[in-house]
Amino acid sequence: MKSIKLLAIVEATSVTGPAKGLLQFARMARSGEVGPAVEVSIAVFQRPDEPDLFIQAASQMSIPVYPIAERGRFDRRVIAGLAALGQSLQPDLVESHAVKSHFLVRQSGLNRLAPWVAFHHGYTWPDLRARLYNQLDRWSLRAASRVVTVSQPFRRELIRHGVPPARIDIVHNAIEPGWGTASAAPARAELRARLGIDPARKVILIVGRLSREKDHFSLLRAFGQLAGAHGGEGAANAHLLIVGEGPERARIEAAIQHLGLRGLVTLTGQVPSAEPYYGIADLAVLSSLSEGSPNALLEAMSARVPVVATAVGGIPEIVSDRESALLVPPRNPEALCQAMRELLANEALARGLAAHAGELLLPRHTLEARTRSLVGIYTAALTSQARYSS
């Protein structure tokens, strides 16, 4: 079969989450080693005041990038821009990531130009406008040839939204082999010193966007109990490291102040890579209310850092309670505190969970396996006679 020309549409200013997965796929799929070669071109929305780290990363990998200029979230000029780009490139397939891209693919008519594969990564809830886009997804995704999601709960949600079950595929995220295992002791010591973290303190790490569904507030309350911020007994000698940026930063900073945790919590903001931070972590936490196939979980597993996570979304599909992680209910600071305390106090348990979690990655979450699955989905979309356009 000849190579596949794919136009991918993504909302990204930095290389995290779906953007990272897209670049990994584009790099591996163009070789043709796991099926027909896929030549990926990427359309990305760009505003004058936003960083272009994603565009830089794609360009460094020799992946063609086409910025679509926009003045704001509801700039209707991008519809014409996407339609014109599609006519110029004439792709064999169109791919979109996240609710805004889904809506614009259907609104611009790109779904009538070529088969359309929509990637559903779950929903964020930063503000009213984003929640309106979430509702529009019910309309958008019904026109997709295939919908790729990352967990069984998300698949059930899509079916409730009216997406036919036969069009939905589940593909978990993947990670580079050996990711997070090469951090040297001097580099770890230098990073701790630069962050101002006492060498004697245990580091609890959370990596992810500062948005409501990540529920940093339950984690902060749990950490407050753990650290004995108000004079409680049995206080742990720990420091909380929050890596990421997002719309909830101001509220998180206010919560840190309110809970008396200043000096015990560090926010790094956006970083080029979270890899060095896993090198200094004694424990990784996901306190989310909703997750699909979280990259932060795969990163902790690869770096051999023990994990405490909420049992939501696709997390229980990746790790099992007391076998490869400790899983707790969401919105439960007491259970989260107890699990963190147990792992910090029980080094044998922590090492065992981390080792078992690392062993799960090789057969289940390799880039090659994910690329092979996606190429199979694209090939099926191209050979199918069904077209789902409006």
Fold of 185-364: Rossmann fold (3.40.50)
pLDDT tens digits for range 249-271: 999 999 999 999 999 999 999 99
* pLDDT recorded at residue 236: 77
Greater pLDDT, 185 or 280: 280
State the pLDDT at residue 129: 64
The reply to whether 4-174+366-383 and 185-364 are identical in fold is yes
Distance CA 342, CA 81 (A): 54
Provide the pLDDT for residue 389.
Answer: 41
Cα–chain center distance at 91: 26
Mean pLDDT of 56-77: 88
For residue 165, what is the DSSP state? G
pLDDT for 130: 65
Torsion angle defined by CA atoms of residues 137, 143, 149 and 151, in that order, rounded to the nearest 10 degrees: 80
Residue pair 62/30 in contact by the 8 Å Cβ criterion: no
Query: DSSP for 332-376?
Result: -HHHHHHHHHHHHH-HHHHHHHHHHHHHHHHHHSBHHHHHHHHHH
**pLDDT tens digits, one per residue of 97-141:** 988 899 999 999 999 999 999 999 887 665 666 667 677 888 899
- At 229, the pLDDT band (50, 70, 90 cuts) reads low
Query: Would you state the pLDDT for residue 225?
Result: 95
Q: How far apart are CA 78 and CA 74, in angstroms?
A: 9
For 4-174+366-383, CATH gives 3.40.50.2000
pLDDT digits (tens, 9 = 90+) for 23-50: 999 999 999 888 899 999 999 998 887 8
Mean pLDDT of the chain: 91
Please write the tens of the pLDDT for every residue from 139-162. Answer: 899 999 999 999 999 999 999 989
Residue 237 has pLDDT above 50, yes or no: yes
Give the pLDDT confidence score for residue 35 in this predicted structure. 87
Question: What percentage of residues in the chain have a pLDDT greater than 90?
Answer: 76
Q: In the structure, what pLDDT confidence band is assigned to residue 232 with cuts at 50, 70 and 90?
A: very low
- Give residue 239's pLDDT band: very low, low, confident or very high (50, 70, 90): very high
At residue 166, φ and ψ (nearest 5 deg) are -65, -20
Predicted confidence band of residue 386 (pLDDT cuts 50, 70, 90): very low
Quick check: 341 pLDDT over 60?
Answer: yes
Contacts within 8 Å (CB) and 24+ apart, 272-275? 272/15, 272/53, 274/207, 274/243, 274/299, 275/179, 275/180, 275/183, 275/299, 275/303
For the residues 279-286, what does the mean pLDDT come to?
98
Q: What is the mean pLDDT of residues 68-74?
A: 81
Residues 190-228 pLDDT 10s? 999 999 999 999 999 999 999 999 999 999 999 999 998
pLDDT at 12: 84
Q: Where are the domains of the chain?
A: 4-174+366-383, 185-364
Per-residue model confidence (pLDDT) at position 235: 67
